[in-house]
Chain A
Amino acid sequence: MALDRIVAPVIKDAIDFNIQLKPYQKLSLDNGVEVYAYEGGSQEVLLVDMVFYAGNSFEQKNWVAAATNFLLKNGTSTKTSFEITDAFEFYGAHLNRTCTNETATVTLHSLSKHFKEVIPIMGEIISEASFPEKEIAILKQNQIQRLLLNLKKGDFIANRLIDEYLFGFDHPYGKYSVEKDYTAINREDLMAFYEQYYLNGKCVIFIAGKFPKNMEALLNKHIGQLPLNKKDIKEQVHPIISATQKKYSIVNDAASVQGSIRLARHFPNRHHPDFPAAQVLNNIFGGFFGSRLMSNIREDKGYTYGIHSYLQNFKHAGAWMVSTDAGKDVCKATIEEVYKEMKKLREEMVGEEELKLVKNYMLGALLGDLDGPFQIISRWKTYLLNDLTEDYFYNTIKVVRSIRPEELQALAQAYLKEEDFYELVVY
């Protein structure tokens, strides 16, 4: 019998998969710090994520939170910056720092067999960071140079401005640093922030991978004795002040051959009942390669290398964002097409076939996203830090499976309205 290449092989719909979020183990260190753990994986590696409530929403001066986070490993009372990095790197371990709005993280990636050698140093930088003047000076200098470079890039400018329009420059979600913020920082600012938010701070730990037998004892010895979680650190509340003007066109570089386009509106955070359904609508709109924006604006018209829409998930607020870089002469046409796609979603119901495809795609991708110990703990981390439980996970799956075209249309009518969107092009 000749092979039939026209008809697709039979598939099992991803909506019929039984997708489970594997549970974490929880333990408490001697000082009360909670550790969420997921053990598993095929390689002898592990990850330790120490999350501090030390994000930029806690700072009084711009850039203090990020600079403190960055410089944690650039010197302790007994070790120089080089000695610290060298000690990690000798064992093939990596220590990364990231600072976001609410939290700031210190993350260790290590071979399991070398964990016992590197965890003491991780403990030391949390308890004895010294912020040497010279390290601060070098960071400032390099940061200013990096900023000069970034200010040449349209996409960098666009990302900063769109957040400012949405949330206001005085809100942690909307602010950004300028050169004088870097020069204004001094060692006292960093020491004070460090003492309050790290040394005596509030911390929660996530670990995943293959653990050595004495994992808990090692964590207790090197982290469990630190004076963490003694004081309650209250989250800061900042008012959102959005721009009144909605449309912006900015020339950053007259010779630019492309424009960076951002369209954005406010959108609630994950706790809002519309959130899971909006994720489905977003996928149809611009959330993956097969989305309408990508099919129309890249695959049909060739205006751009890529166009995406996404829900920006901050803890206390959010935004619905469309982002692309398009040829200078087609920026206007690109924006018109985005609005046309919104209008279509408001006026016409999504077809059953398209909806089924998106549902299967989303759930298949979710299955893939949960593959591996680091992925599983990372999902739990997102939930726990955003005050969500596994109900959120199962509810989202339920909504994806069951949502109907008419519900999506109603959602589009509520949220995908041209007049609600800020519109920015940076050339």
Chain B
Amino acid sequence: MIQFEKFQLDNGLKVLVHQDTSTPMAVVNVLYNVGAKDEDPVKTGFAHLFEHLMFGGSVNIPVYDEPLQRAGGENNAYTTNDLTNYYCQLPAENIETAFWLESDRMLSLAFSKKSLEVQRKVVCEEFKEHYINKPYGDAWHKMRSLAYTKHPYRWMTIGASLAHVEDATMEDVKDFFFQFYRPNNAILVVTGNVQTEQVKQLAEKWFGPIEAGKPYVRNLPKEPVQEKMRSMDVRADVPLDMLMMTWHMGGRFDEGYHATDLITEVLGGGTSARLYERLIKVKQIFSSIDCYHFGTVDPGLLVIEGKLVKGISMAVAEKAVLEEIEKIKNEILDAKEVQKVINKTESVICFEDMSIMNRAHSLAFYELLGDADLMNKELGMYQKVTPAMIQQTAQKIFQDNNRNTLYYYSKS
């Protein structure tokens, strides 16, 4: 059970405080309710590029990192399709430094030309390192654009193409900032050796004077129900054939979400999961295979991907996966297998909650979903999942017209 207190400033900034006096440290986490899905389709990669620019100096503070490091702190950030999250950890005694830094970059960036020029290049190198100069690095670009036709999950956070990042202008940067990086579009979470009163006072002092922005009303195109199976062939200079399949699944608020999560555990969670045991160990069709999903807020994708053992044909591999899919649709799980995946989930939650950093991330994320206390209800939601619910959910998701397949062939 993670205890926390919550209040809101007049400018709309939500603040959550979780106290843990066993640590000398504190974490200050600022989540902005903007992700790659909020981007203009002709200017993709912007939310992530922006994450880089947030370290290029703010209106009153030329460099973000140095004062934080001087205070004994470390920081980082990440961008997903749904959100952008900034966090720093520092000795609790120096927590005001984090408030000063975070509030100044929420007030306004410095919008330095040099920072934009350099970070465009850095992001292009990141793009190359992770998505071009790496075997199968383009697989997810291709899969996203195959599986989604309308919803902005059809591009990756790094951007749909290098050109979009290269073409970003200062004008775009300013517009993006003042549209999304406002207190009423953010959640501040403070965890560690802090007191609520102290956080209240610091939040009022540093974030209170920042003006609210125009409320952001998200109005994204819905992905239409897929009606026909789609597939794509890729041939590339990779050593092994890869098979990647996805099926559309519900979003974070879908009633089948927890059952879906457990389905991915039954199929792909660890080396006693079905796909590993049957397709790698017993049948030796794949040399590696995974089943997972991204836990996205809007309807997402359930993924199965694996590399084929050399000499096995794509058709044989696909058939073997589909046999496992039929099994989970047609045969009800025994109670022990369900208990196992619930136990595993309990364990994952306990280990995740060990650090004040993870607790801060989770509180911010669940508050974004609507209520931070959902974090404490999560295990209960999993415990309610029955074998019948898993079967029903599997039957709903695993339909051929809901499937997208990438056949990724080795040229050699």
Contacts and interface: CB of A to CB of B under 8 A. Distances in A.
A368 interface: yes
A45 B352 CA distance: 11
Contacts of A358: 69
Contact of B133 (A85, A257, A289): A257
A149 B72 contact: no
A18 to B, nearest CB: 10
Contact of A368 (B74, B118, B124): B74
Contact of B70 (A11, A82, A305): A11
Contacts of B272: 82, 85-86, 88-89
Question: Which 6 A/B pairs are nearest by Cβ-Cβ distance?
Answer: A364-B72, A302-B121, A92-B347, A14-B72, A148-B239, A9-B96
Contacts of A5: 59-61, 100, 103-104, 107
A13 B91 CA distance: 10
17 contacts: A5-B104, A11-B94, A81-B281, A138-B284, A141-B284, A142-B287, A148-B239, A149-B239, A151-B239, A255-B237, A257-B133, A302-B125, A304-B125, A360-B70, A360-B72, A363-B72, A371-B25
Contacts of B89: 368
Nearest to B348: A92
B141 interface: no
B362 interface: no
B209 interface: yes
Interface residues of B, number: 80
B327 interface: no
Contacts of B61: 5-6
Contacts of B135: 149, 152-153
Interface string A392-406: 000000000000000
Interface in B55-109: 59-61, 65-67, 69-74, 89-91, 93-94, 96-97, 99-100, 103-104, 107
Interface string B99-129: 1100110010000000001111111111011
A190 B206 CA distance: 62
A318 to B, nearest CB: 24
A5 B59 CA distance: 9
Interface of A: 3, 5-6, 8-14, 17, 40-45, 81-82, 85-86, 88-94, 109-111, 114, 138, 141-142, 145-146, 148-149, 151-154, 253, 255-258, 288-290, 298-305, 325-327, 356-358, 360-361, 363-365, 367-368, 371-372, 374
Interface in B297-350: 307, 309-310, 336, 339-340, 343-348, 350
A91 B96 CA distance: 42
Given A5-B100, A148-B240, A368-B74, A327 B125 contact: yes
Contacts of B348: 92
Contact of A92 (B91, B122, B344): B344
B74 A145 contact: no
Given A9-B94, A141-B284, A364-B94, 8 more contacts: A5-B100, A8-B67, A81-B281, A92-B345, A146-B287, A290-B65, A302-B118, A361-B74
Contact of A303 (B125, B209, B270, B309): B125
A43 B277 contact: no
Nearest to A19: B24
Nearest to B271: A85
Given A142-B280, A146-B287, A326 B125 contact: yes
B54 to A, nearest CB: 13
Contacts of B118: 298-302
Contacts of B347: 45, 91-94, 109-111
B179 interface: no
Contacts of B60: 5-6
B205 interface: yes
B190 to A, nearest CB: 15
A302 B128 contact: no
Contacts of B280: 138, 142
Contacts of A368: 25, 74, 89-90
A21 to B, nearest CB: 13
Candidate in B120, B135, B238 with the most chain A CB atoms within 10 angstroms: B135
Nearest to B239: A148
A360 to B, nearest CB: 5
Contacts of A255: 237
Given A6-B60, A145-B307, A289-B65, A90 B122 contact: no
Contact of B24 (A6, A300, A360, A371): A371
Nearest to A361: B69
Contacts of B288: 142, 145-146
B132 interface: yes
Given A85-B272, A288-B69, A90 B121 contact: no
A12 B128 contact: no
B353 interface: yes
B343 A90 contact: yes
Contacts of B67: 8
A357 B125 contact: no
B309 A145 contact: yes
A361 B72 contact: yes
B107 A360 contact: no
Contact of A364 (B91, B134, B307, B339): B91
Given A85-B271, A148-B240, A360-B70, A44 B350 contact: yes
Contacts of B238: 149, 152
Contacts of A298: 118, 122
Nearest to B127: A305
Contact of B351 (A43, A257, A305): A43
A14 B343 contact: no
B339 A90 contact: yes
A302 B117 contact: yes
A296 B1 CA distance: 45
A396 to B, nearest CB: 16
Contacts of A301: 118, 121
Nearest to A375: B355
Contacts of B59: 5
Interface string B338-375: 01100111111011011110000000000000000000
A364 B126 contact: no
B264 to A, nearest CB: 14
A367 B72 contact: yes
B308 to A, nearest CB: 9
A255 B238 CA distance: 12
B20 interface: yes
Contacts of B25: 367-368, 371
A85 B91 CA distance: 40
B129 A258 contact: yes
B336 A90 contact: yes
Given A8-B100, A302-B120, A364 B71 contact: yes
Contact of B74 (A3, A114, A152, A365): A365
B1 to A, nearest CB: 11
Interface in B263-306: 269-272, 277, 280-281, 284, 287-288
Contacts of A10: 96
B355 A371 contact: yes
Interface string B126-152: 101100111100000000000000000
